[in-house]
Amino acid sequence: MARFRLLPDEQQARSPLLLLWREFSRQHSAMSGLVLFILFFLLALLSPLLTPHDPYLQNDTLLLIAPSWSEQGLVQYPFGTDDLGRDMFSRMLMGARYTFGIALITVIGALLIGLLLGVLAGMSKGLKSSVFNHVLDLALTIPSLLLAIIIVAILGPGLLNTVWAIMLALLPQFVHSIRNAIAEQLNQDYVTAYRLDGASNWQVLTRIILPNIWERLTVTATMALSTAILDIAALGFLGLGAQAPTAEWGAIIADSLDLIYVAPAGVALPGLLIFTAVLSVNLVGDGLRNAMKKRREN
Amino acid sequence: MILYLLRRLFLLVFVFIALSILAFSLGYLFPGNALQNFTGMTDIPAELATQLTAEYRLDSGYIQQYIAYLQRIFSGDWGLSFASKQPLLQEIKILLPATLELAAYALLVSFFVGIPLGIIAAIKPDGIVSRIISTLAIAGYSIPVFWWALLLIMLFSLGLGWLPTAGRIGVLYEIPHITGFMLADILLANSQHQTEALLNALRHILLPTIVLATFPTTVMIRFTRDSMLDVWEQSYIKTARAKGLNRAQVLYRHGLRNALLPVIRQIGLQFSTLITLAMITEVIFSWPGIGRWLIDSIYQRNYPAIQAGLLVISTLVISVNMLTEILHTLFNPLARKR
């Protein structure tokens, strides 16, 4: 590095984001995760347009039709129907909106609140920040399911109420990671230099700190997203979250549980979808982490 | 070190005070009136109500009420359960060991499976073995626990008929409740069918343990692997190699000791997730632990039970958190300076 170069070579002339993408796209697992992630995202956005049947329409002439790959199945109902004659395929598609889409919204909400609180905690010093951290530590120790139980006990069961619980449960890890990232950035020389140039706290935050920590935030957010999907599904399964007719994947599993001998697809398919959704998020998160590490090494 | 412990202790007290305030305020936040929520009695005659109001200081300010609440907690009077009309503390004493037993076995499995696999995966990070382990780890990390439990029940209990689906032990065996830990109780019971009972209990605990251990094991694998790879890059490892130690010696004397330090901490951080998963596992396997009891309580609108459950479970998680952090600091002089 000691050699003076007027023009940096082609590799280093690229923007950090492009370098990150180069490292990311080299990993096959991360790319397949990204493709799946985009698929689920589109599904969550467009599922009402894509469903071949109304997911809530009960058809008593078509009860418990087997999936179309078996002998008794109908081609119009690829995954068969449930015990009320509702099309399973449409319900699965709708489920992406509830389980995946709402998890995404939950994480974005938690991220924004976490950003606000994390910046407040990271930029403040002394007693205020110490008290704040200890309150956070307490929140971190209450298991998310217990938090959900308490909120459900106060507000009653429902998807929206559990969303609050999950948001609350995710918040501490966001605040922690943002606060640590900011503390790390504040120690850097370029922050001091920028301050000597007369930058205010706000300018330091928006021009230097945020651009430097957003990649780490994305990784934290992917981890939180996988937790959120699993939590929403688990709460739906336990009957605390999404209520019976809602086509949420966890709730569908709970619905089909008593028919597991007659129609095992009703339990197997939504579970597989939850698994795939979480897997895609984790693959993207891992890929990002690896890419960031590799970029730093080069 | 002593100063550090004192600071931790102070923090612990602070956290417990905050926790008890939260638990106390739930008596008012939950639907229904506060007297019912605190006592756990649903229909209270009028004269008893006035007497209890005086005793619980519900007629005076919130601070007096809170102090009275704390006194009741410490004297062991936690109120009654709406559902069973039994003292809550008694119920929890019976239920908690079952949860602890399950969580402890799952943690043990995660140590003995996760850490070695993580080390193996770190030895040749791009090798085929490492890739297989990493793939399994990310799959185990992504699987929804209730679905995984259902799959295993379908396969091993309903399909092959090898293992029972529910409970801690067959109904034929009568094991007196001594410690609350099933395996220990069987060994203490000294009955003539001890071996059969033990085998039966082991068959019952196998599936729940596997299900619950999946998540912590994969966390251990990933964490040990990352931590090992980090340590392996350090210059003291190169120094040790240059001095002539072979790979196994370096691994044991320098690698493991440094790489496993953050792993200790990770146990504390993951413990609250483990409890969440344990609660779901208990529901599916009808395991008579505190998690299933709490989820039943929400179906039954059993508010005093939820309040007590919050206190017990959070205390457990906070203690484990604190313990692992202190252990981490004890083993790692670098962390003490901060």
pLDDT tens per residue, range B257-311: 888 888 888 888 888 889 989 999 999 888 888 988 988 888 888 888 888 888 8
Give yes or no for residue A1 having a pLDDT over 60.
Answer: no
What pLDDT score does A134 carry?
67
Q: pLDDT tier at A221 (50, 70, 90 boundaries)?
A: very high
CB-based contact, B21 to chain A, within 8 Å? no
Give yes or no for residue B61 having a pLDDT over 60.
Answer: yes
B interface mutation test: which of A146, A258, A283 has the most B CBs within 10 A? Answer: A146
Residue of A nearest to B295 (CA): A149
Question: How many CB atoms neighbour CB B165 within 10 A?
Answer: 16
Give yes or no for residue A40 having a pLDDT over 70.
Answer: yes
Quick check: B145 and A230 CB within 8 A? yes
What pLDDT score does A50 carry?
79
Q: Which residues of A touch B138 (CB under 8 A)?
A: 279, 282-283, 286
What pLDDT score does A62 carry?
72
Q: pLDDT tier at B92 (50, 70, 90 boundaries)?
A: confident
A54 vs A154, residue with greater confidence: A154
Q: Which residues of B touch A283 (CB under 8 A)?
A: 138
Q: Which residues of B touch A253 (CB under 8 A)?
A: 146-147, 150
What pLDDT score does A105 carry?
93
Q: Which residues of A touch B30 (CB under 8 A)?
A: 153-154
Quick check: A253 and B15 CB within 8 A? no
- Rounded to 5 degrees, what angle do the CA atoms A271, A273, A279 make? 105
Terminal Cα-to-Cα distance of chain B (whole angstroms): 11
CA distance B107 to A193: 48
pLDDT tens per residue, range A191-219: 889 889 888 888 888 888 888 888 888 88
Pick from A143, A253, A275: CB nearest B275 = A143
> How large a percentage of chain B has pLDDT more than 90?
8
What mean pLDDT comes out for the span B77-95?
Answer: 82
Structure tokens at B188: 């203490």
What pLDDT score does A32 carry?
92
Give yes or no for residue A188 having a pLDDT over 60.
Answer: yes
Alpha carbon of residue B46 to chain centroid:
42
Strand partners, A87: A81
Which residue in the block uniquely carries the two structure tokens 């792993």?
B263
CA distance to partner chain A, nearest, from residue B56 (Å)? 22
What pLDDT score does B242 carry?
87
What pLDDT score does B217 carry?
92
CA distance to partner chain B, nearest, from residue A168 (Å)? 14
Q: pLDDT tier at A35 (50, 70, 90 boundaries)?
A: very high
Quick check: A253 and B142 CB within 8 A? no
CA distance B16 to A17: 45
Q: Are A257 and A281 spatial neighbours (Cβ–Cβ below 8 Å)?
A: no
Give yes or no for residue B9 having a pLDDT over 90.
Answer: no
Beta carbon pairs, A and B, within 8 Å: 120
Q: Which residues of A touch B103 (CB under 8 A)?
A: none
What pLDDT score does A38 carry?
94
CA distance to partner chain B, nearest, from residue A7 (Å)? 32
Give yes or no for residue A37 having a pLDDT over 90.
Answer: yes
CB-based contact, B48 to chain A, within 8 Å? no
- The string of DSSP letters for B53-119 reads HHHTTTTS-HHHHHHHHHHHHHHT---B-TTT-SBHHHHHHHHHHHHHHHHHHHHHHIIIIIHHHHH
Residue type, B281: T
B25 vs A54, residue with greater confidence: B25
CB-based contact, A132 to chain B, within 8 Å? no
**Burial classification of residue B78, based on how many CB atoms lie within 10 Å of its CB (0-12 exposed, 13-18 middle, 19 or more buried):** buried
10-29 in chain A: CB under 8 A from chain B: none
What mean pLDDT comes out for the span A27-37?
Answer: 91
CA distance B101 to B114: 19
A158 vs B116, residue with greater confidence: B116
> How large a percentage of chain B has pLDDT more than 70?
99
Q: Which residues of B touch A149 (CB under 8 A)?
A: 294-295, 297-298, 306, 309
Give yes or no for residue B171 having a pLDDT over 80.
Answer: no
Alpha carbon of residue B254 to chain centroid:
31
Residue of B nearest to A225 (CA): B142
CA distance B172 to A265: 35
Quick check: B18 and A226 CB within 8 A? no
Residue type, B108: L
Q: Which residues of B touch A151 (CB under 8 A)?
A: none
List all residues 6 or more positions away from B80 whose beta carbon is below 8 Å from its beta carbon. B39, B40, B41, B86, B87, B88, B304
A243 vs A269, residue with greater confidence: A269
pTM, full prediction:
0.87
**Burial classification of residue B46, based on how many CB atoms lie within 10 Å of its CB (0-12 exposed, 13-18 middle, 19 or more buried):** exposed
User: Is the complex ipTM more than 0.90?
Assistant: no
What are the distances in angstroms from CA A91 to CA A80, A99, A233, B192? 11, 12, 14, 55
Quick check: A141 and B318 CB within 8 A? yes
What pLDDT score does A11 carry?
60
Give yes or no for residue B234 having a pLDDT over 70.
Answer: yes
Indicate the average pLDDT of chain A: 83
CA distance to partner chain B, nearest, from residue A110 (Å)? 18
B interface mutation test: which of A141, A162, A219, A237 has the most B CBs within 10 A? Answer: A141
Phi, psi of A77 (to 5 degrees): -120, 85
Q: Which residues of B touch A140 (CB under 8 A)?
A: 272
CA distance B133 to B152: 21
SS3 sequence, B235-251?
A: HHHHHHHHCCCCHHHHH
**Burial classification of residue B120, based on how many CB atoms lie within 10 Å of its CB (0-12 exposed, 13-18 middle, 19 or more buried):** middle
* Helix axis angle, B290-299 to B88-109, nearest 10°: 130
Q: Which residues of A touch B139 (CB under 8 A)?
A: 279
pLDDT tens per residue, range A105-116: 999 999 999 899
Residue of A nearest to B273 (CA): A143
CB-based contact, A45 to chain B, within 8 Å? no
Q: pLDDT tier at A67 (50, 70, 90 boundaries)?
A: confident
Exposure letters B184-212 (e unless 16+ CB within 10 A, then b): ebbeebeeeeeeebbebbeebbbbbbbbb
Quick check: A141 and B15 CB within 8 A? yes
Give yes or no for residue B88 having a pLDDT over 90.
Answer: no
Indicate the average pLDDT of chain B: 83
CA neighbours closer than 13 Å in the CB half-sphere of residue A52:
12
What pLDDT score does A225 carry?
93
Give yes or no for residue A280 having a pLDDT over 90.
Answer: yes
Alpha carbon of residue B24 to chain centroid:
23
Give yes or no for residue A14 having a pLDDT over 80.
Answer: no
Quick check: B298 and A152 CB within 8 A? yes
What pLDDT score does A6 carry?
62
pLDDT tens per residue, range B121-130: 888 878 888 8
Q: pLDDT tier at B337 (50, 70, 90 boundaries)?
A: low
Q: Which residues of A touch B28 (CB under 8 A)?
A: none
The closest alpha carbon to A165, from A154, A179, A175, A177, belongs to A154
Q: Which residues of B touch A267 (CB under 8 A)?
A: 147, 150
Residue of A nearest to B302 (CA): A153
